[in-house]
Structure 1
Amino acid sequence: MMSVTPQQSVEHYENFPVASILLPRRFRKPVAAVYHFARHADDLADEGDATPAERLAALGECSAELARIEAGEDAETARYRALATVVRDYGVPVSLCEDLLSAFRQDVTQSRYADFGELVQYCRRSANPVGRILLHIFGAVNPRHLAMSDGICTALQLVNFWQDVAIDWAKDRVYLPQDELARFGVTEAQIAEGRVDVAWQRLMRFQVDRTRRMLKAGAPLANALPGRVGFELRLTVLGAATVLDKLDACGYDVFRRRPVLGKGDWPRILWRAWRKK
């Protein structure tokens, strides 16, 4: 259950609510603690010039901090002491945090996905835990909410993948499922060339349409959550849907210009989110 804001960077949890001013004040500090944990771990997996072995070792140190928290011991760093407070005060399962770390480790070791099922399993650990953690913080955990949150979070992760095909290619990562590349007659050589043809457009239209259906299926969660929390989630869903519309509008040419939300998009998104309250 992440949120799209116009200020956030491409690389770091673009769809994560960074203690937004829209959130009630009491939630901003715990949400920020979760964000800083996730962003730091994501950076360890992605940023700088560390070797894969060094990245995995650093993520192992993060897992050791989580193990201390779960054992009721003091964490060694301020970042994890803040996270421990969130775990304690809101009953957040440490396993959700470890799921995120496992996804970051997977980014170090795996760069291709055989099929959509394998990709969804990755999203289950790279995105869905964020929404589940937030539901714990908001005191809104129940099976229906968790299921809708998972749908939204997976869809948001997929939106990022479809925006970032060129960026991920530069990192030697391809999140488009390999079997679907083959089905639509698109090769990795074509991605390297940045060539947009009918086959590419059909492939990407298929991805966008499926992602839009997932996003729509989870959208009722925004009206199930009260006040500003629900309003922020409506912004999240509408913002992601707008990015999908931009992908359609540019003919899925993500190589020459990455489809993103601009300042001009926000008045309409805010109005639509307000009308749906």
Structure 2
Amino acid sequence: MQALTAGLEKEFAYCADVTAQHYENFSVISWFIPKDLRPHFCALYAYCRGVDDLGDEWTGNRLEALDQWEQQLDLCYNGRPTHPIFRALQISIQTYHLEKRDFLALIEANRMDQSISSYETFSDLAAYCACSANPVGRLVLQLFGYRDDRRQKLSDDICTALQLANFLQDLSVDIPRGRLYIPLEDLRQFDVDLTDLQAGRFNRQISCLMDFEIQRTEQFFRSGQPLEHMVPTRLGKQLRLYRLGGQAILEALRRRGGNPFPRPTVSALAKAMLIVKLFISPRHIGGESH
């Protein structure tokens, strides 16, 4: 590992700082990730974080900034990037043969965010998740040498579930930005008035809507769960941590009757309990047997 990162210690340290500084419900990198892979996880996360920041927070021309981000990615594959994140990422790409299309999909998702503010159907939203979330799981599998369709499909389900859970958690954050990540067809099904969501007015219709969205998200978590037993034990633990973290968001919403206003959070105690749960065999936990 030292030979791989020789001369780029500062760049990988930069990526590690990006990973450590940004808020997440649960740690992106834990000791479950083998030590030699952690710098590459940080490089991957720093890339993803950078794309999202450009798409959500950049005060200038976001499309132009995303184009520049893509140019740096191009240089990772056929040149010499100048940005520290990409200088580190180039080593990860070359070492683990990471697919360019997955990195590009993440950029495309943020381009979509600049022109699309809502999604008519769940199929439309799922297609967005295929760009905004699923490529991350596929890249993680590639770091471990997995490229088969079966594992990728299971990973897609978990990543889609995590994305959907975050959408539900961040409803009160996204709406002021002019974005709604709940299908409009679902609002109509449960007779939810968009103006109530925009005003943060919680009512019975929104409660029923959120219950429906929570159940659908849980289905994706359950569908992808077998992946945890199809990878090395430590990666399986990390994947389980991600899943349990996403399910904890759903549980936090359930305890509030589905009220997303203000933004629900997972308590420190709940996080600690999840760490304990990681070391309990799934067959001893209700609803997690196979």
Q: TM-score, normalised by structure 2?
A: 0.86
User: d(CA) in 1 for partners of 2:90 and 2:21?
Assistant: 26
Task: State the Cα deviation string for residues 131-167 of structure 1 (Å, max 9, x = none).
Answer: 0000000123321110100000000000000011111
**Which of the residues 233, 239, 253 maps onto 2:259?**
253
Task: Return the letter of the residue paired with 1:223.
Answer: H
Partner of 1:276: 281
**Which of the residues 95, 99, 114 maps onto 1:108?**
114
Q: Check 1:228–1:8 CA distance in 2 against 1; reply closer, same or farther (3 A cut).
A: farther
User: d(CA) in 2 for partners of 1:261 and 1:22?
Assistant: 21
Partner of 1:46: 56
What pairs with 1:185-200 in structure 2 (closer than 5 Å)? 185-200=191-206
Comparing 195-204 with 98-107, which one deviates more in the overlay?
195-204
User: d(CA) in 2 for partners of 1:58 and 1:140?
Assistant: 32
Q: Check 1:8–1:236 CA distance in 2 against 1; reply closer, same or farther (3 A cut).
A: farther
User: d(CA) in 1 for partners of 2:235 and 2:144?
Assistant: 8
User: d(CA) in 2 for partners of 1:45 and 1:177?
Assistant: 21
**Which of the residues 187, 193, 204 maps onto 1:181?**
187
Partner of 2:229: 223
User: Cα offset for 1:8?
Assistant: 7.5
Partner of 2:164: 158
**Which of the residues 167, 173, 189 maps onto 1:167?**
173
User: Cα offset for 1:15?
Assistant: 6.3
Partner of 1:67: 74
**Which of the residues 25, 30, 43 maps onto 1:33?**
43
Q: Alignment length, in residue pairs?
A: 263
Comparing 19-28 with 205-214, which one deviates more in the overlay?
19-28
Q: Check 1:200–1:9 CA distance in 2 against 1; reply closer, same or farther (3 A cut).
A: farther
Task: Return the letter of the residue paired with 2:168.
Answer: W
- Does the Cα contact within 8 Å between 2:47 and 2:86 map onto a contact in 1? yes
User: Cα offset for 1:24?
Assistant: 1.1
Partner of 1:234: 240
User: d(CA) in 2 for partners of 1:15 and 1:269?
Assistant: 12
Task: State the Cα deviation string for residues 104-157 of structure 1 (Å, max 9, x = none).
Answer: 111122111111011000000100010000000012332111010000000000
Is residue 275 of structure 2 the alignment partner of residue 265 of structure 1?
no
- Does the Cα contact within 8 Å between 1:16 and 1:35 map onto a contact in 2? no
Across the aligned residues of Structure 1 and Structure 2, the Cα RMSD in angstroms comes to 1.7
Q: TM-score, normalised by structure 1?
A: 0.90
- Does the Cα contact within 8 Å between 2:25 and 2:266 map onto a contact in 1? no
User: Cα offset for 1:38?
Assistant: 1.2
Q: Check 1:16–1:125 CA distance in 2 against 1; reply closer, same or farther (3 A cut).
A: farther
User: Cα offset for 1:227?
Assistant: 2.4
- Does the Cα contact within 8 Å between 2:26 and 2:245 map onto a contact in 1? no
User: d(CA) in 2 for partners of 1:164 and 1:265?
Assistant: 19
User: Cα offset for 1:271?
Assistant: 2.4
Q: Check 1:91–1:121 CA distance in 2 against 1; reply closer, same or farther (3 A cut).
A: same
Partner of 1:3: none
